[in-house]
Structure 1
Amino acid sequence: MTADISTPSRALDTDSTLPADAAAPASVTFADLGLPATILRAVTDLGFTIPSAIQEKAIPALVSGRDITGVAQTGTGKTAAFGLPMLAALDPSLRRVQALVLTPTRELAMQVAEAIETFAAHVDGLQVVAVYGGSPYQPQQRALRAGAQVVVGTPGRVMDHLERGSLVLDDIRYLVLDEADEMLRMGFAEDVEKIFGQAPTKRQVALFSATMPPQIRRVAAQHLNDPVEIAVTRQSSTVTSVRQTYAVVPFRHKTGALARILATSDADAAIVFTRTRGAAEEVGSALVERGVSAATISGDVAQKDREKIVERLRSGALDVLVATDVAARGLDVDRIGLVVNFDLPGEPEAYVHRIGRTGRAGRTGEAMSFVTPQERGRLRSIERTIRATLEEVEIPSPADVSAHKVRSLLTQVAARQEAGRLSMYQGLVREYVTEHGIDPIELAAALAALAVGDDGPRAREEQERFEAEREQARAARRTADVRGPRREGDRPERSRGVRRDAAGTRYRLSVGHTHGAQPGGIVGALTNEAGLNGSDVGKIDIFPSFSLVDILAPLDADAMDRISRARVAGKPLRIKLDEGAPVSRARTARPTGDRPRGAHGPAGRHDERRTERREWAPRDGAERKPRHRTA
């Protein structure tokens, strides 16, 4: 039995302690919230009728023109809470920017933009553009010149467009700060102030934050007009019928690992989650190339095509669906027995929604998450939220895949024998055994290998490569475990040569504390321009005229170039590999009282590293927070 996608008990990212699709019926529906027919139609197309708690409270207030402050985390439905009334307030015929949504990270900017595009499916002429670092300016500038009415972006890139004149805020009617506390923590306070200063004073503002510390309250008091205050609890429970596992998988091995997971799963159907629509399309295409019956849905897929894909999944004509969080909203298919988090979600609450797609209708399900070596902190955050520990498992090897296929083949033997009509094949087999003198068991094994595509040498090479890569990964983890986390008092290494170890690769930036550089600003620039996650940024040492930062993820030439051009405290970062402080010749070739001059003198780099630094460093399992100390 399958449930219809438009079942009228769906809640749009409910804040209940149950999965979104298990929400109890409520008296208030989206039809009661005062939304225009075109917006309500898009919500209905997604299969939702019951608003979550924050939507029920925020949408009427925003539709009536009030400012709001919302204490809510991702996973409570806040994107729809501000996105739906935003669309109701805009004029699609006016080809000017009328709404601006600020987010702390590029990933969230892409997700929010995709969600708003989905909500605007029936609003003719409305365009949404996402602007963020790490992406070329020209396509963003063209979209702005073409008359996009909604801009979703990170503060740094929004400021860049304002300074270039490609973004004008004169017609802004609606301004949103999403995850305001995270934005200020990352050092965007000054940019946010400037953006508010360039927007018209007569505008509607929605501010959302996971917490409401004094700094956020000051922003609200300064920039919001008599706001309605809303607070909701977050979803934190997962279904008990789902076995939750994870595997540590380097990014470059994810696609192969996914193919082997799917090949060894007994689930009727699977859904694979990615963070962005681009990743969804790439993963879907890679699976199809490997012979997997897969399809992709994202914000770019028309509703009619989406319905066809979902119907194919229900009927069994399709086995794997690759989707983003937004595109999978409202999806209700009983066949789904496996959920794979190809990318860990940006927020723990989104994890709860994802795995709620399996283990339905009294069935059991499995949820597998791929965790890169740098994402262990994000995994711990998910475990704290769901109050459970995920089981670590090994990714199946190529040999495991072949063995699984043969076992599946053997389970069909009895039924095929009962079906009869085997005499022709028996005669051929007897003839072959007599002619070649081969053992029947060996012949059966060879036929089984051929049936599952194991040709011998190539399969052996693939298995050996897999085992070598797995041993390398285990060795790297053992090394990291032996070294352990760095203690607060650890001083930066001063040996020459590029540093590459468990703490990452050390880079030098051309900004220091005399320029006004702060750890949060550096982290914000790195995550926005290079597409890094916060967990990819390790220890930061800030000296008077430069800074050193450990980056755990690899950086290619393009990423280095984008970071170099990014500005912190008004100064370009100009990133390069750190080669350590040069050894002063004063210590080896000069008498004790003879002080060197020039680059290595009292104001030189060597002495500067010894006088002052400001650090950003992780503690065991704790959230990364900037701290300052004098060496």
Structure 2
Amino acid sequence: MNSFENLGLSRPILEAITELGFKTPTAIQEKAIPVLLEGRSDFVGLAQTGTGKTAAFGLPLLQLIEPDENIPQALILSPTRELGIQISEDLKTFSKNILNLNVVNVYGGASIDDQIRKIKRGAHAVVATPGRLLDLIRRKAINLSKVEYVILDEADEMLNMGFKEDIDAILSSTSDDKLTWLFSATMSAEVRRISKNYMTDPIEVTVGMANTTNTNIEHQYYLMNNRDRYNVLKRIVDFYPDIYGIVFCRTRKETQEVAELLMKDGYNADALHGDLSQVQRDRVMRSFKSKSLQMLVATDVAARGIDVDDLTHVLHYNLPDELEYYTHRSGRTARAGRKGISIALVTPRDERRVRDLSRRLKMDFEQVRIPGGAEVCERQVLNFMHRVIDVNVEEEAIGQFLPVIHEELKDLDRDELVKRMVSLEFNRFWDYYKDAQDLNMRSTTQKRVRQNEGAVSTEDRLFINIGRKDGVDVPGLLTLIHKQCGVRGKNVGRVDLKGVFSFFDVDKAFTEEIIKGFAGAEVGGRAIRIEVSGDRPESSDSDRGGRSRGGDRSRGGYSGGGRSRGGHSGGDRSRFRKDDSRDRRKKSDGGRTFDRRRRD
């Protein structure tokens, strides 16, 4: 087994990392540190997120810096403020036993005047975000001409975020004699371009396969209707009572909305995104790292600086658009050799993207059934019992109260006492989940996942011979059903809208009512035909528009949460109207017709 002592690190650095609990180097550290300590070559290091890349470049860099030369000798570029802060904190910790070595962190959102003063007082290593560093260069507040080492950390992410021109400008302002070290989780075409344009015969080290994810991560996906997305998230969080994770959203707006819904429903959660001030971001990160927060809802960019070793889960509220983003997201968990779970919330139309990720990342995704209400209640009760068993009993402190307690409980036998104690935790979840709907959706490759294989469906699949080409959308179809049959949208399930026909699920109790309600109806002069379909085809993107059939109510005692924002309330109600003349002509046989009309 290798050790840090065998890598050539100095005694002050070894003592500092020993205090941190570093014992055995990771694969990237073992391969990179000896090469970088020689200080002779450009270097490209490819390794998965969470494999210790900061120490891989930070430890040799600190040993190569000359503390007596009070000028910037090393520049570390980071894509985000959070990652820059994390890197600078790590470097300061690693160098605690090296006298007079100063690390300065510069980033947007903080006082540039304070940062300039710190640089002027002396900075041996500067950790910077590209935008703020360019501001300093334009103000002539920093001189990079003597920089000997430039490190591009998370290079793929900087390029994904549009920093290509900034990086070009920064690198062109440094000495041609510098060494460039590039670290990345993936080797994209742009990362390769940087290495070719600004590096000379770099030594390239790859740990694992490029563009792959950590093998300690279990990749799962839950197949659900888009309208149930938030309810599924809540159910997952309840099913894992000890979850400590990050929920990734695509946009800042969605991030804030999901975080607010979670907080409203009683979860220890908060948001992290670019619209927050630096003070707010720092507060959220402190709370999350101290585990005052159980769930952090974040954008891809904001989460890049999160360095927490014991995250249990990463949840993808929506799948990211880029392969690299999935790699970085999932890499937040299973760090430092631990296990972790990456869960994606997926609609049927997104299953092909899951298969594409699986193929390109050379890993397996497991489709997992969304737990039912009874399963969640069982998990919560067992978790409560584990807490009872593991609780630390203050014998002396509680002893004085035991006589009074025994007196109060004297009429309860053991079984009754257990039932009442467990009910304190059980009741609030049971009240919430006893009527919970099955949120699982039918796969595009297999039959609908059911609570039990032999379960009998409570819904019928109905065929109707109108679709998009008739000018109908999902809200309009739901409005039509309600107008004709009195059946509300909440009783209509998944809608699959096609060109000239559609399918929709409905509770069996309303099937006959709907068929009778449409008897004799017409659209555009064509008789409406509606019948129970023997074929239950796969869902399409139209299922996004339907209204939830109840969904999850808020947790016991909590309000709101999880309400569908899709709904059918905004449908074009003017598209289907009774034509009085045709109604009069068909009054004898009870016929009805609907005339589709364009809106002006």
When the two structures are superposed, what TM-score results if normalisation uses the length of structure 2? 0.46
Q: TM-score, normalised by structure 1?
A: 0.44
Which of the pair has more CA radius of gyration?
2
